[in-house]
Amino acid sequence: MQQVVKVTRRGQTTIPRDFREKYGIREGDRILVEDRDGELVIRVIPKLEALAGIYAKYGRKEELKKKLEKLREEYH
């Protein structure tokens, strides 16, 4: 699937609705824009809550969030 999008003078663009729905992109989500061999690649950055399920045996998502915040504080 391809779609042409317009870039504003501030360098902003809109991700077309079909792509947002397909990849579950919502307002406030973060995406990664990467230069890969002369092409721009856009990837969705998964939310911590989405990843917590695969590691559920290691703890609840609230606990994981607390541990992540603690690590962030240590490195800032």
Look at residue 71 in the predicted model and tell me its pLDDT: 82
Residue type, 61: K
Q: Is the pLDDT of residue 70 over 70?
A: yes
What is the pTM for the complete model shown? 0.60
What would the two tokens of residue 14 be? 């809109």
Least confident of 14-23, 37-46, 61-70: 61-70
What average pLDDT does range 32-60 have in this prediction? 78
Q: Which of 26, 28, 31 is nearest to 45 (CA)?
A: 31
Q: Sketch out the chain's domains with CATH numbers.
A: 1-45 (2.10.260.10), 46-76 (no CATH)
